[in-house]
Amino acid sequence: MALTDFDLALFGGSGDLAMRKLLPALYNRERCRDIPSTARIICIGRHEWSREAFLTEVEKNAKPHIASGNFSEAAWNAFCARINYVALDAMNPASYQALVDAMRQETTGINRVFYLATPPSLFATVCHNLAACGLATPNSRVVLEKPLGRDLASAKQINEEVGRVFAESQIFRIDHYLGKETVQNLLALRFGNVLFEPLWRREWISDVQITIAEELGVGNRLDYYDTAGALRDMLQNHLLQLLCIVAMEPPVAATPDAVRDEKLKVLRSLKRFTPHMLVQNVVRGQYRSGYVDGVAVPGYRKEPGANPGSRTETFVAVKAEIETWRWAGVPFYLRTGKRMADQLAEIVVRFKSIPHSIFAQPNSSFQPNSLIIRLQPDEGLQLNLMAKTPGDGMRLRPVELELDFRETFKQPRMEAYERLLLDVLRGQLTLFMRSDELEAAWEWVEPILNYWEQEGIEPMPYTSGTWGPAAASALIGRDGLQWREES
Ligand code: BG6
C-alpha cells in the first residue's frame, strides 16, 4: 500500500536511537522508493545546529549504520534533502514556534507524525506543548519509544497525560521486538497452519523457554541503564510481548484490537507473585569481569562512570505461569542478560515425552520433541524429532528439521524499525501496545521491583561470557529441566 505524504517530527532527532536505527530505517525505505517524494523528516534536538551542521552529524553517525549493499548515493542524497533540523527546548512552549514554522500547516493529504525518542519524563510535556501550539490535530499520530514509565504509577500517568492530547487510536507505543521478522513468523506458524494449534496446550506442551541473551555490555548507555536494569529494559516489554504471542488464544482477525485483546488476556492471566514465590521464581544477576568471545571485559560496576556499589541487574530470569485452561501447570521460563555466553534470541517450546515406547529402547532414551523459534542472530525454525538410524535394527535418535528463513526467502529483509515506522505511517496499530496492555505488564512485574527494593536484594554476580548466575540454572533445575544451551 503506497504511503500518504507525511511530515515526521522526530524528537530526540540527534540521539543514539535516531542515528543508529530510525534514520537508517527511513533511508532503507527511501532506497526502496516507499517514501512519497514530498514527505519531510524534521529532526528535533537541543543543540543550536544549522541544517548543514546537522546533516554532517547524520553523515557521521547514521550513515555508518546502513548496510553497504543497501547504499546508493542517489537515494542517500534524496533522503538528506528531505531532512530538516529544528533546535527546540522541549520544556519551553515558546520554542515550539520553530517547529510550527517547519511543518506544513495544511494537513489535508498529509499525515503528521510526532516520534518521541526522548526520556519518558518528557512525554507529557511535549504532548501538551504540541497541543498548545496547535500542532496536535485529531488526525496526527504520536509514537512513544520505551521505556514507557518505570513502574505502574508512572506508566499510568504517561497514559493519562498523553491521552489528554491524543486519542488511543493516535498513540503508537513501540516495542521493536514486535517488528522482528520471526515474531511475525510465529503468528504465521501458529495461525497459518493447522498442525500446531491442537498441540499448543498443556496436554502436549511441557514447558516454554524464552531467552534474549546479549554479548554486549551496557555500552555508553549507563546513565539510562543504571536507573532501569534488565527487568525494566527487557522483561517488562520484549520478553512479555514474546510470551503473549506464544501464549495468546487465536484472535478473531489480525486486526489491532482483536490481537491486542488476546495479548491483554495473557498478561492478566499471569500468576501474581507473592514475596514467598519470588525467592524461588526470580533470579537477579549482575555481570562481573570475564571474557566474551575471547576478549577481556570489565564487570558492570567497573564500567566507565559506573557506581561501584550499583545494585542494578543486568540479568533476570523468571519462572512464569499462566492461569488459564490452556496453560495451567506449564512453566514459562524467561531470561535475559547482558555479557552472556552468546548473542541469541529464541523461543523453545518443549513437548511432552511419549507415553510408552513400542521399541526396545526405554522411554527415557527418547528426546521429547521440541520446536525452536530463532529470532536472532539467524532467523529460523527447528523442529526436533526422533527418527530411525539407517541400517539393521531399530534404533531411534534425535534429528532436526531446519527452516532457515534467509535461505528460503531470498528477498531483502526489513529491520524491525522499518516495519514499525511503515506501520505508523500507514496508521496500522496491530504491532503496537495498547494502554491497558502496558499497564497490565507493569502490574505483573511490579511486585518483583518492590521486593528487590524493599528487601535490598543484591544481584547475584555472574562472570561475563557465561549463561548468568548459577541460581538461574537452579531455578529451572528444580523442575528437573535445563536451559537449552546448558543441556
Ligand atoms: C533495547 C534495550 O530495547 O533492546 C537494549 O534497551 C537492548 O538494552 C536491545 O540491547 C536489544 O535489542 P536487539 O534487537 O538488539 O535484540
Confidence of residue 487 (pLDDT cuts 50, 70, 90): confident
Residue 230: closest CA among 347, 117, 312, 319:
312
220: pLDDT strictly greater than 90: no
Mean pLDDT of 383-390: 96
Confidence band of 399 (pLDDT split at 50, 70, 90):
very high
Per-residue pLDDT at 486: 85
Name the amino acid, one letter, at 454.
Answer: Q
- Work out which ligand 1 atom sits closest to the CA atom of 375: 16
Give yes or no for a contact between 450 and 151, defined as CB atoms under 8 angstroms apart. Answer: no
Q: What is the pLDDT of residue 139?
A: 87
Q: Which of 47, 65, 128, 238 is catalytic?
A: 238
pLDDT digits (tens, 9 = 90+) for 116-137: 999 999 999 999 999 999 999 9
Ligand 1: which residue has its CA nearest to atom 10?
214
The answer to whether residue 363 scores a pLDDT higher than 90 is: no
Does the active-site annotation cover 128?
no
Nearest to 381 by CA among 398, 399, 397, 405: 405
| Per-chain mean pLDDT for the chain | 96
Residue 40 CA, distance from chain mean position = 27
- Which domains, ranges and CATH numbers included, belong to the chain? 6-145 (3.40.50.720), 178-412+434-486 (3.30.360.10)
The yes/no answer to whether this complex scores an ipTM above 0.90 is: yes
180 annotated among ligand-binding-site residues: yes
Q: What is the pLDDT of residue 336?
A: 98
**Annotated binding-site residue? 176:** yes
Q: Is 166 helix (H, G, I), strand (E, B) or coil?
A: coil
pLDDT at 108 over 90: no
The tens digit of pLDDT for each residue in 230-287 reads: 999 999 999 999 999 999 999 999 999 999 999 999 999 999 999 899 999 999 999 9
Q: Ligand 1 center to residue 326 CA distance, Å?
A: 31
CA distance 243 to 267: 9
**Considering only CA atoms, which residue is closest to atom 14 of ligand 1?**
177
Q: Which of 429, 417, 418 is nearest to 32 (CA)?
A: 418
